[in-house]
Amino acid sequence: MPTSFSRTTRSLSNDTSGYALLSWLLAGLFLGAWLLWFFFAEITVYEVSSEARLEVERTAHPVAALIAGRIISAQLHLDQPVEKGDVLVELDAGSEKLRLQEEESRLRALPPQITSLQKEIATQELAGDEDHQAALAAAQAARARHHEAITAANFAKDHERRLSKLSASGRVPLIDVLRVRAEAHKMRAAADALSSEIRRVEMDARTRAHQKQAEVEQLKRTAATLQAQVFTTEATIARLKQDIEKHVIRSPVTGRVGDVVSLQEGSYVGEGDKLGSIVPAGALRIVADFAPASVLGRIHSGQLSRMRLDGFPWVQYGMIKAKVNRVATEIRDNRVRVEFSPESLTASSLLMQHGLPGSIEVDVERISPAVLTLRAAGQALSSATPQVVAAR
The CATH number covering residue 318 comes to 2.40.30.170
173 and 68 in a common domain? no
334 and 226 in a common domain? no
304 and 368 in a common domain? yes
Tally of domains in the chain:
3
Domain span at residue 111 reads 95-245
237 and 112 in a common domain? yes
190 and 308 in a common domain? no
How far is it, in rounded angstroms, from Cα 82 to Cα 64? 16
342 and 265 in a common domain? no
Tell me if 181 is assigned to some domain: yes
136 and 77 in a common domain? no
Tell me if 235 is assigned to some domain: yes
140 and 224 in a common domain? yes
How far is it, in rounded angstroms, from Cα 266 to Cα 223? 46
> Hey, CA dihedral for 356, 282, 324, 60, is it positive or negative?
negative
The CATH number covering residue 263 comes to 2.40.50.100
224 and 104 in a common domain? yes
265 and 229 in a common domain? no
Give kind and range of the element (H or E) at residue 305: strand 304-309
Contacts 24+ apart (CB under 8 A), 229-232: 229/106, 229/110, 230/107, 230/110, 230/111, 230/114
Q: Which of 229, 245, 261 is the last residue of a domain?
A: 245
pTM over 0.75: no
79 contacts 66 by C-beta, under 8 angstroms: no
287 and 184 in a common domain? no
Q: What is the largest CA-CA distance in the chain?
A: 227
Tell me if 8 is assigned to some domain: no
* pLDDT score at 176: 65
DSSP assignment letter at 332: B
10-residue mean pLDDT series, the chain (392 residues):
56 59 84 84 85 84 87 85 89 90 92 89 84 77 74 72 67 66 74 76 80 87 91 93 90 85 85 86 87 86 89 81 90 91 62 82 85 80 55 36
* pLDDT score at 166: 65
Tell me if 321 is assigned to some domain: yes
260 and 179 in a common domain? no
139 contacts 205 by C-beta, under 8 angstroms: yes
From residue 176, give the alpha-carbon distance in Å to each of 39, 113, 180. Answer: 160, 72, 6
Q: What single string gives the DSSP state of each residue in 249-293?
A: EE-SSSEEEEEE----TT-EE-TT-EEEEEEE---EEEEEEE-HH
The CATH number covering residue 220 comes to 1.10.287
